């Protein structure tokens, strides 16, 4: 059944929302976004210990809650609303999903409980050129020598790559695509924090020079497994975008009700009202896209998920950007200032649209699926 949120889902949403109201207010976001780490360790510990959110999609056998894509989408949507600054997407979504889908039991045994407990930040190093994210595009080579595996090459747009305790690296061996694990303190590992458009999500460039690595997945299925992890990442990101878009719409309508010009609230002018109505359509469609993808992911039908996830990423990217853009316009000069949060959402919107492949890329893939 489509879109059947349960009372437990609503409760999860309320819990996450209350926590973020407290811990991710605008002042906190602004304070954290200019720090090097980009997040607050005490809040991270609370998120893990009190709310159990880092354990959300970790299977129960590894100390997690064993929940699925729908609960993840709800959480990400709420985080998107407040631009929550934390390594949640890198660690609790991407790394967890990659480990769950592809890694050896030993690696899961070691890493998943630590992630679930909030004790480890784990990043995923995947893209090599900006915007190229499909598993098939990975070129970085792993070599096997006398002392085991080493990696040589470069990865970019590694989310939280600067602070991660461990990095999961997608690389190519003679046999095909494989997954490696590199310690944050490994020899020959160079990490460079990138100055980013979106200050609230930290990205790093990571260089490997004969860096020792442990191979944690090398079967013939790795590409398909990574593909599933990637698609779940798209679903989570789309949900985050839908949440950001909803927040922008809320800010805009609030402003349109209280800002007066020419003797009346600006929201009474059709020029503003109609723009807000169009924003509402975009937000509702974005939610439909994100929820639909989350429910398809929960069903585990790979074919359906492929189309639904790409549809969601493509639409939510465009919708969030449109709505964030309109938010600046509705706020007028105020919307263009550093003091107003509109630019933070605007920047998140463009960054998220380009991360993991842009809307055109996903429409190209979708077109092939639907036979256009």
Partner 1 sequence: MSQYRPMTEEELRERVRKLKAEYNPDRVDMFTFRGAQYDHGLAWVHFPEGYGGLGINPKMQAIVADELRKGVETVYDDLAINPIGIGMGAPTLMTYGSDELKRALLRKCFTGEEIWCQLFSEPGAGSDVAGLATRAVRDGDDWVVNGQKVWTTLAHVAKWGLLVARTNPDVPKHEGLSYFLLDMHSPGVEVRPLYQITGEAEFNEVFLNDVRIPHRYMLGQEGQGWQVAITTLMNERTALGGGSTQKGGGPIQVLMQLWNARPPKRHAPAEAAVLRDRITRLYIESELLRLTALRARAMMRAGNPGPEGSVGKLAQAELYKKIWECGMDVLGEEALVYEPGYALRRPAHEERRDKVLLAKYQFLRSRANSIEGGTSEIMRNILGERVLGLPGEPRTDKGIPWKDIPRGG
Residue ranges that bind partner 1, judged by CB under 8 A:
1-5, 249, 253, 256-257, 264-265, 267-270, 272-274, 276-278, 280-281, 284-285, 287-289, 291-292, 311, 314-315, 360, 363-364, 366-367, 370-372
**Going by DSSP bridges, is the β-strand pair 176-183/189-193 parallel, antiparallel, or unpaired?**
unpaired
Residue with smaller CB distance to partner 1, 171 or 283: 283
Measured CA to CA, the distance from residue 172 to residue 212 in angstroms comes to 15
Measured CA to CA, the distance from residue 11 to residue 23 in angstroms comes to 18
Q: Alpha-carbon torsion 357, 359, 361, 363, what sign?
A: positive
Helix (H) or strand (E) holding 145: strand 141-145
Alpha carbons within 13 angstroms on the beta-carbon side of residue 235 total 31
Residue with smaller CB distance to partner 1, 170 or 366: 366
The total of other beta-carbon atoms located within 10 Å of residue 173's CB is 16
Closest separation in Å from C-beta 367 to partner 1: 4
Closest separation in Å from C-beta 288 to partner 1: 4
Residue with smaller CB distance to partner 1, 197 or 277: 277
Residue with smaller CB distance to partner 1, 42 or 372: 372
Closest separation in Å from C-beta 313 to partner 1: 11
Closest separation in Å from C-beta 226 to partner 1: 24
Residue with smaller CB distance to partner 1, 206 or 256: 256
Closest separation in Å from C-beta 370 to partner 1: 6
Judged by DSSP in three states, 123 sits in strand
Residue with smaller CB distance to partner 1, 197 or 367: 367
Q: Is the distance from CB of 159 to CB of 133 less than 8 angstroms?
A: no
Judged by DSSP in three states, 267 sits in helix
The tokens for 218 are 């090398």
From the DSSP assignment, how many helices (H) and strands (E) are in the chain?
A: 11, 9
The tokens for 321 are 């950007």
Closest separation in Å from C-beta 265 to partner 1: 5
Q: CA triplet 204, 156, 85: central angle to 5 degrees? A: 40
Residue with smaller CB distance to partner 1, 228 or 287: 287
Closest separation in Å from C-beta 264 to partner 1: 6
Q: Alpha-carbon torsion 332, 337, 340, 346, what sign?
A: positive
Query: In whole angstroms, how far apart are CA 49 and each of 88, 172, 279?
Result: 14, 37, 37
Residue with smaller CB distance to partner 1, 233 or 267: 267
Closest separation in Å from C-beta 292 to partner 1: 5
Q: DSSP character for 160? A: T
Measured CA to CA, the distance from residue 17 to residue 112 in angstroms comes to 25
> DSSP per residue over 65-104, as a string?
----HHHHHHHHHHHHHHT--STIIIIIIIIHHHHHHHS-
Residue with smaller CB distance to partner 1, 46 or 288: 288
Closest separation in Å from C-beta 356 to partner 1: 17
């Amino acid at each position: 059944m489509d879109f059947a949120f349960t009372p437990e889902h609503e409760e999860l949403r309320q819990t996450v929302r209350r926590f973020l109201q407290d811990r991710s207010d605008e002042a906190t976001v602004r304070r954290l976004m200019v720090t090097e780490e980009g997040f607050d360790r005490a809040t991270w510990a609370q998120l893990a210990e009190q709310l159990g959110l880092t354990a959300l999609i970790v299977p129960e056998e590894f100390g997690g809650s064993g929940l699925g894509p729908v609960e993840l989408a709800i959480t990400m949507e709420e985080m998107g609303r407040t631009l929550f600054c934390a390594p949640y997407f890198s660690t609790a979504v991407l790394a967890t999903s990659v480990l769950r889908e592809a890694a050896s039991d030993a690696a899961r045994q070691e890493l998943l409980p630590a992630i679930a407990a909030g004790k480890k930040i784990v990043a995923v190093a995947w893209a090599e050129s900006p915007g190229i994210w499909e598993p098939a595009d990975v070129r970085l080579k792993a070599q096997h020598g006398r002392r085991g595996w080493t990696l040589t090459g470069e990865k970019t747009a590694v989310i939280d790559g600067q602070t991660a305790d461990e990095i999961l690296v997608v690389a190519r061996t003679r046999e095909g695509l494989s997954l490696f694990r590199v310690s944050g303190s490994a020899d020959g590992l160079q990490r460079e924090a990138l100055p980013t458009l979106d200050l609230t999500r930290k990205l790093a460039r990571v260089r490997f020079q004969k860096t020792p690595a442990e191979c944690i997945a090398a079967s013939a299925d790795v590409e398909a497994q990574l593909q599933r992890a990637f698609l779940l990442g798209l679903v989570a990101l789309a949900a985050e975008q839908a949440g950001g878009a909803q927040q922008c719409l809320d800010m805009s309508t609030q402003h349109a009700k209280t800002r007066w010009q020419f003797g009346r609230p600006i929201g009474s002018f059709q020029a503003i009202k109609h723009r807000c109505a169009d924003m509402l359509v975009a937000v509702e469609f974005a939610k439909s896209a994100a929820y639909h993808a989350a429910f398809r992911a929960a069903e585990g039908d790979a074919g359906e998920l492929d189309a639904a996830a790409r549809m969601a990423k493509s639409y939510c990217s465009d919708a969030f950007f449109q709505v964030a853009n309109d938010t600046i316009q509705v706020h007028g000069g105020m919307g263009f200032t550093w003091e107003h949060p509109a630019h933070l959402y605007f920047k998140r919107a463009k960054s998220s649209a380009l991360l993991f492949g842009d809307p055109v890329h996903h429409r190209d893939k979708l077109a092939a699926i639907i036979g256009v």
